[in-house]
Amino acid sequence: MGLVQRVLEASGISTVALSMIPDLTRAVGVPRLAGISYPFGRPLGSPHDADSQRAVLRATLEVLASASEPDTDVELPFQWPESPAKARNASKDVVRPPIVELLKMKPWLLANLYSGRIPLVEGQTA
């Protein structure tokens, strides 16, 4: 996401990233970053909680207005009401992604994922 943001910014559009993994987004190097400690799949908040969603969006867009230089990094003060375990538990019946199934069968390939050595397969853009 940060890489896309850089391309847009370089093409003349002012951008801000909301990020649930601000460490990673910050490492990529982005013009404006709003970090939030919310669980994956719910970056703006809970479904049908319009007031909280609007507060997160407003705070994110405020970074657009306030930033005067690149690498502006803001931590949004919102607190998720559940523990991480409970937040994850809500999605425990979701089918596991293919990479997880592959790594269960071939755990040594975890080293590739860790090191970023992504195997290419003939005929596919990876």
Partner 1 sequence: MHLIQMHLVFRRPPVDVASMAIDSYRFLDYASRQIMTAWAARQKPGVIPFTPLSRPLAACTVALISTAGIARNDDRPFDQEGERRNPWWGDASFREIPLGTTENDVRLYHMHIDPRFGESDLDVVLPMRRLTELSREGFVGRPAPTHYSLMGYILDPTELVEKTAPAVADRLRAERVDAAALVPA
Residues numbered 91-120 forming contacts with partner 1, rule: CB under 8 A:
91, 94-104, 107, 110, 112-116, 118-120
By CB under 8 A, the count of residues binding partner 1 is 90
- To which H or E segment does residue 5 belong? helix 2-10
Tell me how far the alpha carbon of residue 51 is from its chain's centroid: 22
For the CB of residue 77, give the shortest distance to partner 1 in the complex, in Å: 9
For the CB of residue 89, give the shortest distance to partner 1 in the complex, in Å: 11
Q: Which residue is associated with the tokens 């370089």? A: 10
Three-state secondary-structure class, residue 33: strand
Three-state secondary-structure class, residue 76: strand
Alpha-carbon dihedral angle through residues 38, 42, 48, 50, given to the nearest 10 degrees: 60
Per-residue contact track with partner 1, 9 to 28, x per CB under 8 A?
Answer: xxxxxxxxxxxxxxxx-xxx
Site for partner 1 in 67-86 (CB under 8 A): 68-71, 75, 80, 84
Site for partner 1 in 51-70 (CB under 8 A): 53-54, 56-58, 60-62, 64-65, 68-70
CA distance 3 to 25: 9
Q: Kindly tell me which of 12 and 81 has the beta carbon lying closer to partner 1.
A: 12
